Amino acid sequence: MAELNKSLYENFSTSISYPTAELFLKSVSDCNELLKENGSRGAVSGFKKFKAELEKLDETQLEELYTKTFDINGVCSLDLGYVLFGEDYKRGALLVEISRLLRENDVDPGTELADHLPNVLRLLPKLTNFEEREQMIEKLVIPAINNMILKFGKGNNKKCIYYYALKSLRDLLEDSLEEFNL
């Protein structure tokens, strides 16, 4: 079974979190470099577009874009369970399970719910049970990201730079699944 690059997933997690000053831009830059070393052509290409568009924005614009995209009446949510199940009871069970995994693997969810995509990205490389990690990627993370990408495909949303980040992440995760099955 393949190991996941912890630094790559940490930086990707920060890159799609609420943007805060230099840490955010450094993580985006570091993630871009790590993808060049470890990612597929699709993952590298999508993230390169994301990074190039981010660099055109100042800090206030970055914060507004993030909020408009994911928070207040956002295009989509980064909470994976919500994306897949809405307010259904299945999300509650998922939150309990991911909370347990976060706790067992010393991943602090901060102020976000356990199923928040950046939290899950920080969790994935820490999971030592490769089958559990593969199932999480295949059954939870990739389907949720696919749903998010579909929401960006409507109207003017496709122009949102987070569309490229999510496509890049999906490509990276699909590549990791292929490595698991070698």
The reported pLDDT for the residue numbered 154 is 67
Predicted confidence at residue 160, as pLDDT, reads 84
**pLDDT of res. 72:** 73
* In the block, residue with structure tokens 């939870």: 140
Residue 12 lies in a domain: yes
What average pLDDT does the segment 149-172 reach? 83
Q: How far apart are CA 175 and CA 182, in angstroms?
A: 11
The answer as to whether 171 is a domain residue is yes
pLDDT at 83 over 80: yes
- Which one-letter amino acid corresponds to residue 135? Q
Residue carrying structure tokens 């003017």: 156
Separation of alpha carbons 158 and 12, rounded Å: 20
Please check whether residue 56 lies inside any domain of the structure.
yes
Does the pLDDT at position 182 exceed 60?
Answer: no
Range of the domain at 113: 6-180
Are the CB atoms for 170 and 45 separated by under 8 Å?
Answer: no
Question: What's the pLDDT tens digit per position in 53-76?
Answer: 998 998 899 999 999 899 877 788
Residue 93, pLDDT score: 95
| Contact present, 115 and 83 (Cβ < 8 Å) | no
Could you read off the pLDDT of 115-150 as tens digits, one per residue? 999 999 999 999 999 899 999 999 999 999 999 998
Determine, yes or no, domain membership for 1: no
Lowest-confidence segment of 7-16, 23-32, 143-152 by average pLDDT: 23-32
Closest CA to 69 of 139, 159, 168: 159
Mean pLDDT of the chain: 89
Please state the domain count of the chain: 1
**50 lies in some domain:** yes
- Asked if residue 107 is part of any domain, the answer here is yes
The runs of H, that is alpha helices, within the chain are 6-15, 21-38, 41-54, 59-70, 80-85, 89-104, 117-123, 130-136, 142-152, 162-180
Lowest-pLDDT range of 91-105, 146-160, 162-176: 146-160
- The total number of residues shown for the chain amounts to 182
The tally of CA atoms less than 13 A away on the side-chain side of residue 70 is: 23
Q: Choose the weakest-confidence range: 16-20, 36-40, 146-150, 153-157.
A: 153-157
C-alpha to C-alpha distance for 83 and 81, rounded to whole angstroms: 5
The CATH code of the domain that includes 127 is 1.10.3480
* The pLDDT of residue 10: 92
> What integer pLDDT is reported at residue 155 of this predicted model?
63
Report pLDDT for 1: 39
Residues 6+ apart with CB under 8 A from 172: 8, 12, 35, 39, 40, 43
Q: Is the pTM of this model over 0.85?
A: yes
For range 2-13, the mean pLDDT: 83
